[in-house]
Structure 1
Amino acid sequence: MSENKVAVKSGRKLAVENDLWEIRDNGMPVTYVDMLTELRHHNNVIYLSLGQSIIDGKNEPIVNITARHRIDLGTAKNLHRILGEVIADIIKPGDKSQAN
């Protein structure tokens, strides 16, 4: 009988209120996302599915689902706030006072 091997990376912590939670990463692959395929809510849970567009020559375009998330409302609110801050930072005009 073969033994199942699990590789878990750890050592990082996430502060949640007064507790430190260990972060485990078992090697989830990184995927590029450029399509929203599902966004709805039910019983205070956000349903979010993401996809990657594939355009290959004259073939029909494809959207490959890369992730399906069910997000707690509190987490969705935090994600909304943080994404807003990151997007605002990306689109704000650069500081030209220090340009050549």
Structure 2
Amino acid sequence: MNRAGKIDPPFEEIGKYYYDNPADNENGEFDIVTKDEKGWIFYEAKYRKKPVTDAMIASEEQQVNKSPLHAYDFGFFSKSGFSLSEKHTEKLYTLEDMYQKI
């Protein structure tokens, strides 16, 4: 999708990110982190039988906000889709989204 120009803005770098801060007893691991002209986007991939919920999104965003890197946006990949009771501005992708023709 990035190469096809379907991500705005396109990301320049992609990887996994983790941090460990033993002094404050905090650590975190993030499945996918991209960098673009605006900064960092953190993505979490959920390969569960149950859809991603509002509570899961809130929990992951709290963890990201504790990390040393500042994220300007968040995204989620879900094998089983989403079960959300409120509107979300995060980038949300299902398994089907990943395998559609570009």
Query: Which structure has the larger Rg?
Result: 1
- Tell me the TM-score normalized by structure 2: 0.28
- Tell me the TM-score normalized by structure 1: 0.29
Instruction: Specify which structure has the bigger relative contact order, considering alpha-carbon pairs within 8 angstroms and separated by 6 or more residues.
Output: 2
